[in-house]
C-alpha cells in the first residue's frame, strides 16, 4: 500500500506527509482528530461520522499495477451475498428476499450514520422497509415479518416512533 500512496502523491501533485500509526487505536485517533487523508473501506461505521469523501483516480489498470505502476485506482472488489447452497430449499422466502434485495452504498452510509447515532439495527431495518415500500426487497421483508408472526405495522412503527 505504501508504494501506491507515494506514487499517487508524486504523480498527481498531492502534497502529503505519509505516516503509519503504531496501533489501530492510534490510526482511529489520527483520522478522527487530524485534518488528513486516511485509508477506509466500505461498508464500515468507523469513520462514517466524519463523512469522508473518496479521492477518484483514473480507473484501475491491472497491467500497470503488475509493473509496479500504482498511479491508477486500486482494483474494486464487488461485495456479493453468499448463502448456503440449500437456502432455497430450506427457506424459500428468505432466498427470494435476498435474491431481490438491492441496497446501494448511499443507503448503507445513511444507515451506518444513524447506527452510530445510537439507533438500533432493528429500528433501522424497520425504518428502511417503511420508507422504501417499493424498493426491491422491501415487500419481501414485510412478508417475511408477517409470516414469522411479527405484526409489521405495530412492531416496526412502534420502534420507529421511539427514535429521536
For the chain, the structural domain boundaries read 2-66, 87-161
Predicted confidence (pLDDT) at residue 93 exceeds the cutoff of 80: no
**Residue 129 region by backbone torsions, left for phi larger than 0, else alpha for psi between -120 and 50, else beta:** alpha
Sign of CA dihedral 120, 126, 131, 132: positive
CB hemisphere CA count around 126 (13 angstroms): 21
Q: Is the pTM of this model over 0.75?
A: no
Angstrom distance (rounded) from CA 73 to CA 56 = 7
What is the per-residue pLDDT for 64? 93
Per-residue pLDDT tens over the stretch 34-47? 988 888 887 788 88
Per-residue pLDDT tens over the stretch 44-92? 888 888 888 888 899 999 999 999 999 999 887 666 666 788 888 987 7
Per-residue pLDDT tens over the stretch 99-117? 777 777 788 888 888 887 7
Average pLDDT over residues 129-142: 66
Give the 3-state DSSP-derived string for the chain, with helices as H, strands as E and coil as C: CHHHHHHHHHHCCCCCCCCCCCCHHHHHHHHHHCCCCCCCCCCCCCCHHHCCCCCCCCCCCHHHHHCCCCCCCCCCCCCCCCCCCCHHHHCHHHHHHHHHCCCCHHHHHHHHHHHHCCCCHHHHHHHHHHHCCCCCCHHHHHHHHHHCCCCHHHHHHHHHHCCC
Average pLDDT over residues 118-129: 76
Burial readout 58-96 (b: 16 or more C-beta within 10 A, e: otherwise)? eeeeeeebeeeebebbeeeeeeeeeeeeeeeeeeeeebb
Amino acid at each position: 500500500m505504501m508504494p501506491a500512496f507515494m506514487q499517487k502523491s508524486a504523480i498527481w501533485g498531492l502534497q502529503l506527509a505519509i505516516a503509519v500509526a503504531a496501533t489501530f487505536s492510534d490510526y482511529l485517533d489520527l483520522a478522527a482528530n487530524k485534518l488528513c487523508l486516511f485509508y477506509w473501506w466500505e461498508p464500515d461505521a468507523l469513520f462514517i461520522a466524519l463523512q469522508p469523501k473518496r479521492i477518484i483516480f483514473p480507473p484501475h489498470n491491472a497491467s500497470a499495477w503488475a509493473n509496479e505502476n500504482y498511479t491508477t485506482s486500486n482494483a474494486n472488489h464487488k461485495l456479493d451475498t453468499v448463502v448456503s447452497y440449500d437456502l432455497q430449499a430450506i427457506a424459500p422466502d428468505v432466498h427470494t428476499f435476498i435474491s431481490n434485495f438491492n441496497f446501494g452504498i448511499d443507503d448503507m452510509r445513511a444507515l451506518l450514520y444513524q447506527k452510530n447515532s445510537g439507533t438500533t439495527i432493528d429500528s433501522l431495518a424497520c425504518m428502511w422497509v417503511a420508507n422504501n415500500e417499493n424498493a426491491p426487497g422491501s415487500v419481501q421483508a414485510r412478508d417475511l415479518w408477517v409470516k414469522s408472526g411479527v405484526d409489521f405495522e405495530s412492531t416496526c412503527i412502534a420502534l420507529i416512533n421511539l427514535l429521536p
